[in-house]
Amino acid sequence: MTDKISREITSTARGIVRLNEPLAKHTTFGIGGPADIFFEPADPEDLATVISRATELGINWWVLGDGANVLVSDKGVRGIVIKLGRNFAKIKIDGNVVTAGASAKLDKLVTQTARIGLSGLECAAGIPGTVGGGIVMNAGTYHGCIGSRVESVKVIRSDGSTAELSQNEIGFRYRWSIFQSSISDIIMQAVFRLTPADPDELMKKVEEIRARRSRNLPSCGRSAGCVFKNPDETTSAGKMIEIAGMKGARIGDAVVAEEHANFILNIGNASAYDVKTLAEKVRRAVKDKFGVELEYEIRLVGEW
């Protein structure tokens, strides 16, 4: 990116702009090269102005949530990386309708709604990340996925205009939403319709789910959760990886977790290249053993 374009974006923005920001600081893997421009908008108007200007200039952008489901390449991301901050994190509760800003923490939303007796988001208890990232990924567990409780999502489009998408338009499927296709919409907030229930029972369930997660998930090393999607509802990718003999496989500081074979851990200074090479090795082993091509759940981002 030229200095002229960087200056243009910097002078257009009211929020925080950093050049060559290392994305390793912003991902749960602790991995990722620099973003040409790292932008934290001051408010929705600031975001709309910068996005429409970037569109006019032909600059790419990409939105980062809490970086809990991404592997950012060692070369980093060209163009603008947008990180929504505190001004996009408000949670408003009106009866059983909950409006949450895209940068609100998903797990915090789970606690807040369960505590006042609103059921529907317990399935996301303990899942790291933001509401925006959770919507894009249709985050969940075998208890369910958050998409089933989404009524609508408000977005900013590439020309700076806003739009509202209904649950039907978003087309949630297992770990998928329309936001994973080529759509460049930026999620600003989501509306959830929940169901009244006993708050004590809900909190008990939430705590049980969290406790089970901390028993079953790797306790050390940095990760981005499950690397691959389950091939179908009854087949666990983790089990296949285990049977294919890949538990404990290692490249550099990237290791297939012993506790959960669908997790790759950065146990020190793994590079994105190490993780990706190991993931490809795992895929080949599963293909050889079962004839099944595993699909990535984590999003591979940046220049490879």
Ligand X SMILES: Cc1cc2nc3c(=O)[nH]c(=O)nc-3n(C[C@H](O)[C@H](O)[C@H](O)COP(=O)(O)OP(=O)(O)OC[C@H]3O[C@@H](n4cnc5c(N)ncnc54)[C@H](O)[C@@H]3O)c2cc1C
Q: Provide the binding-site residues for ligand X, judged by CB under 6 A.
A: 28, 62-70, 84, 102, 127-130, 132-134, 136-137, 139-141, 179, 186-187, 217, 223-225, 299
Assign residue 83 a region (left: φ > 0; alpha: ψ between -120 and 50; beta: otherwise).
beta
Q: Would you say the C-alpha torsion 98, 101, 106, 109 has a positive or negative sign?
A: negative
Is the CB of 174 or the CB of 269 nearer to ligand X? 174
- In our burial notation (b when 16+ CB lie closer than 10 A, e otherwise), range 278-289 reads bbeebbebbeee
Is the CB of 28 or the CB of 277 nearer to ligand X? 28
Q: How far is the CB of 238 from ligand X (least distance, A)?
A: 12
Contact (Cβ atoms closer than 8 angstroms) between residue 82 and residue 42: no
Q: How far is the CB of 11 from ligand X (least distance, A)?
A: 24
Q: How far is the CB of 22 from ligand X (least distance, A)?
A: 15
Is the CB of 209 or the CB of 285 nearer to ligand X? 209
The DSSP symbol for 226 reads: B
What is the residue type of 232? D
Q: Which residues pair with 64 in a beta bridge?
A: 83
Angle between helices 3-12 and 44-57 (to 10 degrees): 150
Contact (Cβ atoms closer than 8 angstroms) between residue 134 and residue 177: no
Q: How far is the CB of 178 from ligand X (least distance, A)?
A: 11
Q: How far is the CB of 66 from ligand X (least distance, A)?
A: 4
Contact (Cβ atoms closer than 8 angstroms) between residue 70 and residue 275: no
Is the CB of 7 or the CB of 92 nearer to ligand X? 92
Is the CB of 76 or the CB of 133 nearer to ligand X? 133
Q: How far is the CB of 82 from ligand X (least distance, A)?
A: 8
Is the CB of 74 or the CB of 225 nearer to ligand X? 225
Assign residue 161 a region (left: φ > 0; alpha: ψ between -120 and 50; beta: otherwise).
beta
